[in-house]
Amino acid sequence: MGNVIHTRKKQKCLDRTEDTTFRVWSTITDSYVTEELREKELRETVLSMMLEQTVATYFREIGERIELATRNGTSARHETRQTLDWDTERE
């Protein structure tokens, strides 16, 4: 993902999580990609970032799979099938 989570505490050696804020650092751009967030906000933000990345990957891969199926009759790698009819389904 190229992101890491950094923390900052309001006081040194303070263990209370309510005094901790978080930011997401991008190792790709060497900059923060979020403002300061509390834990709940961080969880929601990181989840959203991961979902966006997953959807982008899916859309990139679906194009490749469609191209493979068009060329070989199937998106299964290293396989081909005839394209004049559908396969017979098991009952």
Q: What is the pLDDT of residues 34-82, one digit of tens each?
A: 999 999 999 999 999 999 999 999 998 999 999 999 999 999 989 999 8
What stretches of 27-83 adopt beta strand conformation (E)? 31-32
pTM: predicted TM-score of the whole model, two decimal places:
0.65
Long-range pairs of 3-9 with CB within 8 A, sequence gap ≥ 24: 3/27, 3/33, 3/46, 3/49, 5/42, 5/46, 6/32, 8/36
CA 15 – CA 64 distance, rounded (Å): 49
Query: How high is the pLDDT of residue 17?
Result: 63
Task: Give me 84's structure tokens.
Answer: 């004049």
